[in-house]
A and B are shown apart, each in its own frame.
Chain A
Amino acid sequence: MLLPAIVLTLVFSYIPIAGIVIAFQKFQPTQGLFGSRWIGWDNFIYVTRLPGAYQVVWNTIYIAILKIVVGLAVPITVSLMLNEVRRDFLRRSVQTFIYLPHFLSWVILGGILIDVLSPSEGIVNQLLTSLGLEPIYFLGKNSWFPYTLVMTDVWKEFGFSTIVYLAALTSINPALYEAAWIDGANRWRQAWHITLPGMLPIIVLMMTLSLGNVLNAGFDQVFNLYSPQVYESGDIIDTFVYRIGLIDAKYGVATAVGLFKSAVSLLLISVSYWFAYRFANYRIF
């Protein structure tokens, strides 16, 4: 039963891992993996000398960490608020609406955002100008672009995370609230002393697991929203690899950068799973 999946995984996951040797070659597709010339660490050295290479790493980390922080804070707040709603209808409708964007791709959302955020005809800037403010070029200015990425990413994903936290809340024993009620605790105190601690394990889990994403700033999103004028603030490792690898066809160099990312990510993920296992008793399977 395992055979088909094992074969497919070998071909499409393990052969590419072996293909990492490209990073140490002056790879020519015509000469193949075995015919290309070995050049040691030259590709890595070449990248470190590229102008903007450090900027790309910095952008990646900066955008990813902002996303992680805001992406934790917003859903936790919203799930606490939703937990206080007693009207089933309101609660369910809010849930339905907030996680819809999660299921749409960044192509669709990119198309929507490019229209909505356009400085000339976008509705957001129409609103800003009608309030007497200057229009903002959200997707075309380096001072705005990273924050636009963070905001729109949170817009897409916070509903999904909110559901995860809400699911954790259902496991809190209602007797705790009754006991607190009898002891005279008001709602704020109940939320603070029962609901929040009840969510703590899942919060810790989400925090530790997100550590593995520090080098994942979101290829799909950036690729569909960025443009050459915001490379300075918005170019990330993944988009950089795509451009030097598949557009400029510098295969060896792109593989080297990819390897750097994979290796650091492996380290981070291992550490985060270890933490998750240690502090949240989390196992993958």
Chain B
Amino acid sequence: MAHHTSWPRKCFVFFNSTVLIVISVLCLFPLVHVLAISFSSSSAASAGLVKLWPVNFTVKSYTYMLKDPAFLKSFAVSVNRVLWGGSLSILLSVITAYPLSKNSAALSGRTFYAWFFVFTILFNGGLIPWYMTIKNVGIMGTMWALILPGAVTVFNIILLLNFFRGLPKELEESAFMDGAGYWSAMWRLVVPLSLPSIATISLFTLVFHWNSWFDGLILMNSPDKYPLSTYLQTVLITTQLAELRTEELRLFMEISDRTTKAAQIFLGTLPILLVYPFLQRYFTKGIVLGSVKE
């Protein structure tokens, strides 16, 4: 297509780009601001001198956080949860989506099974019965409570199912011809071919587990079992100064609430920022897979 760049066009391009840049800056601005606060001295932060660059650069807040046993403990709980919960959920999604991607001739009752899962996104019992169930299963206060209830993610299953269906049928037929069963066809053919979409749901799942905080809050019966997001929820949103011991309190005064909170926010965000480049690569694909069907 030929472009002639007229005056109005130039104006438009300039205006359009400027607005978009302003929008992007507005998205990032709060994050950068908080990052700058976390590296500033507490006096500069509380005097409101910090904008987008640290004032009186210091890493005090970070060294304080990294010495805080509660923080470290919850960090470990989160890592555990992401690894175990994430892998279980991904594994379940694959082995559930594969049979459901077959037609009714190969899997009798396929429609029933599919609706069995989909119904759970349409209707649920609500918070209290869910809570009571977990209590009665007896996993309250254990790692299982963070892993098992959310292990079956219908959204991921649907995404994978639709992807599996798009694979050429002939490939699998030839594998069956060579004597492969469903399990080996799945592991050795379907899974390797579907790595991009599996990567997509894996990243979604990992981010989901890292970010989940509410289940920790109501299902873990003591704060030392909180995952990081839940720990952050309690310190960032509802800080209880009274619970701090005097020695901690003194240190607390030195580094001021504001810079510590900023450091906590940034440390909680860091893992997401680290996987973000990968998320980005797969995630557009993932959405297209999930929403566009022939």
Using a CB–CB distance below 8 Å, which chain A residues touch chain B?
1-2, 4-6, 8-9, 11-20, 22, 29, 33, 78, 81-82, 84-87, 90, 93-94, 96-98, 100-101, 103-105, 107-108, 110-116, 121, 123, 126, 155, 159, 163-164, 167-168, 171, 177-178, 181, 187, 202, 205, 219-220, 223-224, 238, 241-242, 245-246, 251, 254-255, 257-259, 261-262, 265-266, 269-270, 283-285
Contacts and interface: CB of A to CB of B under 8 A. Distances in A.
Given A1-B98, A90-B17, A164-B291, 7 more contacts: A1-B99, A18-B125, A85-B17, A87-B17, A105-B210, A159-B27, A167-B291
B23 A78 contact: yes
B51 A123 contact: yes
Nearest to A111: B236
A16 B122 contact: no
B70 interface: no
B61 to A, nearest CB: 13
Nearest to B31: A112
A33 B135 CA distance: 13
Interface of B: 1-2, 9, 12-13, 16-17, 19-21, 23-28, 30-31, 33-34, 37, 46, 48, 51, 92, 95-96, 98-100, 113-114, 116-118, 120, 122-135, 137, 148-149, 151-152, 157-158, 161-162, 182-183, 186, 207, 210-214, 218, 229, 232-233, 236-237, 258, 261-262, 264-265, 268-269, 272, 276, 279-280, 283-284, 287-288, 291-293
A72 B124 CA distance: 27
A117 B98 CA distance: 47
Contacts of A5: 92, 95-96, 117, 152, 157
Contact of A113 (B1, B30, B276): B30
- Closest CB pairs A-B (n = 6): A258-B126, A19-B129, A16-B125, A105-B211, A111-B236, A97-B24
A104 to B, nearest CB: 6
A135 B70 CA distance: 36
A163 B114 contact: no
Contacts of A245: 127-128, 131
Contacts of A20: 125-126, 129
A284 B126 CA distance: 23
A252 to B, nearest CB: 8
Given A5-B152, A255-B126, A258-B125, A283 B293 contact: yes
A1 B95 contact: yes
Query: Could you tell me the dominant secondary structure of chain A's interface residues?
Result: helix
Query: Could you tell me the dominant secondary structure of chain B's interface residues?
Result: helix
Nearest to A96: B280
B232 A111 contact: yes
Q: In the complex, which of the residues B26, B113, B116, B262 has the most CB atoms of chain A within 10 Å of its own CB atom?
A: B116
A192 B148 CA distance: 49
Contacts of A105: 210-213, 229
A70 B28 CA distance: 20
Contact of A90 (B9, B20, B132, B186): B20
Contacts of B20: 78, 81-82, 85, 90, 94
A103 B279 contact: yes
Contact of A251 (B128, B133, B210, B288): B128
Given A12-B133, A12-B148, A110 B236 contact: yes
B160 to A, nearest CB: 10
A14 B51 CA distance: 51
Q: In the complex, which of the residues B27, B46, B280 has the most CB atoms of chain A within 10 Å of its own CB atom?
A: B27
B269 A17 contact: no
A192 to B, nearest CB: 14
B164 to A, nearest CB: 11
B51 A107 contact: no
Contact of A12 (B99, B149, B207, B210): B149
Contact of A4 (B24, B95, B268): B95
